[in-house]
Every structure is written in C-alpha cells, then in structure tokens.
Amino acid sequence: MKKYVAILAAVCLAFGVSACGSSSSSSASGSAAASASASASSSASSSGETETSEGERTTFVVGFDAEYPPYGYMDDNGEYTGFDLELAQAVCDIEGWELVKTPINWDSKDMELNSGSIDCIWNGFTMNGREDDYTFSIPYVDNSQVIVVSEDSGINSLEDLSGKIVGVQAASAALTLLQSDEEGGQKALADTFASLQEFPDYNSAFVELQAGSIDAVAMDIGVANYQLKTRGEGYKILDEALNTEQYAVGFKKGNTELCDIVNKDLEELTNNGTVAELAEKYDISDLVCLEAE
C-alpha cells in the first residue's frame, strides 16, 4: 500500500511540476501550444507596466481565436499563424516588442481585453457596430458577411433562405448583423428563416451543413474562402452578400496611445509592401483595404 502511494505521489509531482513548468517558462520552445501557455506568464514581467507609458512596453499580447483561419489558426507545424498574426508580428518587429500570441475563447474576448489579459483583439475583428465599445485601429480588410450553402441545395439567393435553418458562430459579427434591426441590419431577413442556429465554431457548423441538419451558414468571406478551399468541392458562396464591413484591431476603449502606434506602423507596412505581400500569401488580396500612398 505504502509503495503505491509513493509511486502515485511521484507521478503526481512529475506531472504537476511539468505542467507548472511549461506554463511558467517564457523561453519555451517555439511550439504553438507552449508559446500559448507561456503567454500567460511570460507577461509576468511586463504585466505591471502595461498601464504605464508605451515607451516602456516590451511585449505585445494579441488575443485571437485560434479557430479562425486564415486570420488566426494553427499551421501545419503546430505554430499559430495567419494574416493577422503575421501583421502583428511585423508591427512588433518595427517597435522591438515581443509578440505574445494568446488564444482566447471568443465568447470571453471582452473580459480578456478589459481585464488586461491581452493588449488587443486582432483576429478578423469586425469594427462596424462595435465602435462604441472599443478603440479601433484603421480598418485593414474589407470584409463581407456571406452565406455558404451546399452546391446541390438549390439555394441561389438570400430569398431562397426563407424557411431554412441557418447556422452562425456564437458572438460573431454575422450573428450581430442578423439580429440587428437598425439601418443595414438583416433582422428582417433572419425573420424569414425557419431558425437561426448558433455554433461554437465553424467546424461544427460545416459538419451539420454536410449532414443536412442545417441548410446554410453565415460567416465572413475570408473564412468562407478558406473553408471552401480546405474542404474541397460541394459548397458554394451566395453571390449576394449580407453586408460589407471592415476589420480592424480592437483595443480597450480609450487606449488611443497604443492604437496610434499600431496605426502608424500599419501605414508604414502598407507603404513598404509588407501588407500586400502577406495578403497574397493568405489569398485575401481582394479584401485588404489598406492602400499605399
């Protein structure tokens, strides 16, 4: 009996220490998971300074939904990447900051930002309709909310969605749009649906679309393009978009100091061609709205 308790205790310690170790070593390997957890503590050194002058900043903590390709996701090597994260890296290179990529739960993004866990939300973040809640950078992508359906569904226009079940990601811009009865909102359209079904992530939505339990999914065009490319044949995007809108980097309301630095860098990166290069890499050149002077 005593022997087993000792073994168990040893195992506990080994795992406990390793778990603790990996979450507290900011110098962990480049692996995405390690850097993600490191983010929680690597900022330990800087957390106390975030409220002070931007001149002293050493890290830049970007919160993103790691399930949102092509803007933020895990690449083939298990590293977090995407158009937005590479752009954020470019900003950090200019400023000499260390980029800390912190995956967040999208439902909790406000809490993460307001509580200081992250410095900004930079992840295909729609600014339209949220202007009062965040301090936004200049918009960098012209996005539109579109509808994805199965190719053989017979749905060709927004009118055909009447009486259909439409899926949408929880807490997404598409959902906000479909629930808004203000100018430009699509609540009237949503009212013609049989129901509006919320999903935690796009993967679940696509599985249900494939299985036929929902008829359409509303999402950002960039995400739609990526999903169609990854999943191959069988889906199409309706020509008619729900709206057009812009992506921008979201900062805590009133944090104009940091916002101004990022804006200045974004302009610089546009002018030196970095933005266009990245847009090409991620196949979103038509969407990027930053233009060199």
Which residues bind to other proteins, rule: CB under 8 A? Answer: 1, 4, 8, 11-12, 15-16, 18-20, 22-23, 31-34, 36-37, 40-41, 43-44, 47-48, 50, 61, 66-69, 73-78, 102-105, 107-108, 111, 114-117, 201-203, 206, 227, 230-231
Q: Identify which of residues 61 and 238 has a Cβ nearer to other proteins in the complex.
A: 61
Shortest Cβ 11–other proteins spacing (Å): 7
Shorter beta-carbon distance to other proteins: residue 26 or 186? 26
Least distance (Å) from other proteins to the CB of residue 151? 17
The CA-atom distances, in angstroms, between 272 and each of 268, 275, 281 are: 6, 8, 16
Contact 248, 120 (CB under 8 A): no
Output the CA torsion sign for 98, 104, 109, 114: negative
| Shortest separation between residue 8's beta carbon and other proteins, angstroms | 7
Sheet containing 59-64, strands listed edge to edge, beginning at the edge strand earlier in sequence: 98-103, 59-64, 120-121, 250-252, 134-136
Residue 112: both structure tokens together: 């993460």
Residue 268 CB, shortest distance to other proteins, in Å, is 28
**Least separation, in Å, of the C-beta of 292 and other proteins?**
31
**Which lies closer to other proteins via its Cβ, residue 22 or residue 180?**
22
160 vs 208 by CB, closer to other proteins: 208
Cβ closest to other proteins, residue 41 vs residue 246: 41
DSSP for 72-138 reads EEE-TTS-EE-HHHHHHHHHHHHHTPEEEEEE--GGGHHHHHHTTS-SEE-SS-B-TT-TTTEEE--
